[in-house]
Structure 1
Amino acid sequence: MVDRKRIVLQPEYMKNFHCIGPACEDSCCIGWRIDLDKQTYLKYKKINNLELKPIFEKAVNRKHNQKSDESYGKIKMESDGRCPFLDEKMLCKIHRNLGEEYLSDTCALYPRYLRKVDGKFERSATMSCPEIARLGLLNPDGIAFEHIEEDVDARIKLHSNFDTEGHLYINKPQRYFWDIRIFSLSLLQNRNYNLGERLIILGIVYEKIEALYLEERLNDLPLMLETMNSIIESGSFKEEIEKVPTNTQIQMRLAKEMTDKKVLQGVTSQRYLDCLKETLIGIRYIEGEQLENVLAKYDENYKEYLSPYLDDLTLELIQSFSKVVLHNNQYIQGIIKLLKDNGYDSLAYMTILVKN
């Protein structure tokens, strides 16, 4: 039998990743829904293991409103958000008793994502995994990419398949995906600008792309990117960005509205709730407190506490925020609506929101 190989593009830190199990600060088996692919669901219904069978009968259910094989069934989580197969040592009972081959696609592949772009494989990982967040965010040299050769696993799940040459994208910006991607990555890795400045410039460029599309001038897109890259390299953007005012009041009000919206929906991640609680207490954003006092406390705490310890705090917040928010499309759409309803979806407001 001939060994099958594939080439995959991935961040360099992925080769050092492995699940740290009970040592992890935040279990991936707590706090969200676990979908079951059809093959795994049917296997679970045939299990006769004395320890697991009662749990399978109680917690494994069919998703009758779903017709896809990828989301055929689900595991009903316990009232505290824990997976019913999680043992006292924070390890999976299915993996312990039956082996990795009995894990669902969701459990076996997390936090990895495999995509195909123009016929080539790419792997990434979600920052909702603490170990991935640590490897990706705390590397002083930044994120680099590499091609690796690996055996073709029988279990292959593509999360997306994108063909830039497809007929759907003939007259759309997706046709210039590679130009846009290379420009964006180069900008985001440019440490001559701080992160807020990089995001502002990226917003300016994306607005220009949208304008070219609306004006049916997409052929000018590569030249526009080349021009913008020259301006970035010259440092000319620095002076313009410095003219943008910092408005902590707008930032604070919108952040509080987004926080309230999420809390009303219910959050099961204790790690995220701890971040939220400590933040609100730290800046005295409590009921009855005047906004002026909150802003003053925020500025004071930012200078005294946040700046010196930004790495560790940022790691915890990004990871917990990713777990609670980025895996919840309903919440993301709600935030977009909130921005539009408040008139904050313009480039001018976005610039104010991300500055500092």
Structure 2
Amino acid sequence: MEKIVLTPKYMNSFVCIGSECEDNCCSAGWQISIDKKTYQKYKNIKHPELGKEIKDSVKRIKNGVTSDSKYAYFKMNEYKHCSLLNENKMCSVHLNLGEDMLSPVCATFPRIQNQIDNEFELSATLSCPEAARLALLNPGGIDFEKKDYEPNKNWSTKINLKTQNIDNGNTKFHVVREFAIDIVQSRLLSLSDRLIFLGLFMNKLQEILDRKSYHEINDLIQEYQIKLASEQYLNSIQLIHDNISLQVETTIGLVKARKKSDISSVKYLECLDDLMNGLNIRDENHIDNQKVMDVYLFNYKNYYAPFIAGYEYILENYVVNYMFESMFPNMAVGDPFKDYIKLASLFAMLKLHFVGISGEYKGISQNLAVKIIYTFVRTFEHNLSYKNGMMELIEENGFNTLAHIVSLLKDRKILKRTEILL
């Protein structure tokens, strides 16, 4: 039965490129979950060649976190690849038995299917290199469209949101998210300043939800729409001072946190090494903060700022895609400002990667930008210990307040030569 789906237009062009992919999802090193229904299919398989291989490759989850959706998993081989990936980097199950025999995790990836009441949303996680290219490299930004849609019975639904409950703020979810995305796509401000503007709006939204005064949300949106069109108000955001030392301290914490996590993505480890080299960090145990800050500022001025001047839309598209596929902000739990802190923290850490890595390559290309983003997303979405470690770092340093997150976000203004002469 056909439904209505809201989807970014880049999804019209997405096709898995299989063995041509530079970082195949089946060789990423993460655990590939199998639901109970698919597990039973595999136990009863009669295929003459694959039957035993599949049964030997599947392992039950026998601890307290087992569920029908995470009932078993595929074992990895010595290279941290799925043991059913053939020599041509193709899935043996899909090739020989068809898509219906895939677990929902394998069949859905990299698609993200969400449901709001009776309508669906379909996007992609940017941990897939091909999806990342399509979503990120559009100078015009991410556009959306509604169309008829036949949900795939073998795809999993990540979030199922109900907006009919008058006892929480989700009745206003659509208008809030639409305005939040409008803020991020408004190019009157730098992207970092747009996120600061978003934080001011989300902070006021949190106050309304705390009072359960949901009828005030439309007036709040109207107020901030006026502010978004006010040159005076936008100028006041541009005049906020940066805090580079704070940003550098966070970078150092990021580097040190790597030791506490089992990061399986080879490509992301390459990015972390590039970040260290780009900031001239030779010994993680003996770091001179002032020297790192000097290198950071040099990279920022000479490599990062020129890249952003021409390609800021890449990071904008990353943020918009995150907001859409994560259903930002989910107001049902009454804590949208916490969702904002998470979004802003991820963006701030991603920016730190760009500044550091730009020093290693003396600049940033579009291909390098895609690699940084898809490996970053892949690590944070599929490595819970690393993600939790980063969020703990944010909280331990008190970055879970608006004032501190603004300091972490704020870009340094790089004066043009003509401005210096004046």
Partner of 1:127: 126
Residue 197 of structure 2 aligns with which residue? 201
Q: Which amino acid aligns with 1:57?
A: K
Deviations 1:316-353 (A, max 9, x none): 11110110112344443433332222212111110111
Separation (CA, whole Å) in 2 of partners of 1:32 and 1:177: 33
Residue 420 of structure 2 corresponds to which residue in structure 1? none
Give the structure 2 partner of residue 285 of structure 1: 281
Amino acid at match of 1:32: W
The answer as to 2:202 corresponding to 1:147 is no
Q: Secondary structure at the match of 1:107?
A: helix
The equivalences for 1:149-168 within 5 A come to 149-166=148-165
Query: Of residues 369, 372, 382 in structure 2, which corresponds to 1:314?
Result: 369
Deviations 1:33-81 (A, max 9, x none): 1111122111212234454334323320122335532222111222432
Cα distance in structure 2, aligned partners of 1:324 and 1:259: 14
Deviation at 1:154, TM superposition (A): 3.4
| Deviation, structure 1 residue 97 | 2.1
| Aligned counterparts of 2:196 and 2:91: Cα–Cα separation in 1 | 43
| Conserved 8 A contact 1:12-1:143 | yes
Q: What is aligned with 1:38?
A: 36
Name which of 365, 372, 381 aligns with 1:326.
381
Q: Secondary structure of 2:217's partner? A: helix
Structure 1 residue ranges (4+ consecutive) displaced by more than 4 angstroms after TM superposition = none
Which runs of 5 or more residues in structure 2 are unaligned? 308-363, 412-422
Aligned residue pairs, count:
350
Residue 13 (structure 1) aligned with residue 10 (structure 2):
yes
Structure 2: how far apart are the matches of 1:352 and 1:95? 48
- 1:80 touches 1:268 (CA, 8 Å); kept in 2? no
The one-letter code of the counterpart of 1:59 is S
Equivalent residue of 1:127, what SS?
A: coil
Note if 1:101 corresponds to 2:156.
Answer: no
Q: Does 1:82 align with 2:78?
A: no
1:189 to 185, 189, 198: 185
- Give the RMSD, CA atoms, in angstroms: 2.0
Contact 2:255 2:276 in 1 (8 A): no
TM-score for the superposition, normalised by structure 2: 0.78
- Give SS of 1:159's match: strand
Q: In 2, are the aligned partners of 1:60 and 1:74 still within 8 Å (CA)?
A: yes
CA pair 220-5 structure 1, distance change in 2 beyond 3 A:
closer
Secondary structure in structure 1 of the residue aligned to 2:114: strand
- Indicate whether 1:229 and 2:228 are aligned: no
State the distance in 2 between where 1:257 and 1:52 align: 46
- Is the contact between residue 164 and residue 176 of structure 1 (CA under 8 Å) also seen in structure 2? yes
Identity of aligned residues (%): 33
> 2:133 aligns to what SS in structure 1?
helix
**Equivalence for 1:339:** 394
Q: 1:302 maps to which residue?
A: 300
- TM-aligned CA distance change 1:54 to 1:248, over 3 Å: farther
Which of 19, 33, 54 is the matching residue for 1:22?
19
Q: Which residue of 1 aligns with 2:319?
A: none
State the Cα distance separating 1:152 from its structure 2 match.
Answer: 4.4
Question: Letter of the aligned partner of 1:27 in structure 2?
Answer: N
Q: Where does the alignment leave 5 or more consecutive residues of structure 1 unmatched?
A: none
Picking from 239, 242, 250, the partner of 2:238 is 242
* Cα deviation 1:166-191 (Å, max 9, x = unaligned): 2xx51x33232122112101111111
Shift of 1:216: 4.1
Instruction: Return the TM-score normalized by structure 1.
Output: 0.91
- Give the CA deviation at 1:238: 2.9
Q: What does 1:260-271 align with in structure 2 at a 5 Å threshold?
A: 260-271=256-267
The verdict on how the C-alpha distance between 1:310 and 1:234 changes in structure 2, with shifts beyond 3 A counting, is: farther
Greater fraction helix: 2
Deviates more, 1:298-307 or 1:269-278: 298-307
Residue number in structure 1 paired with 2:357: none
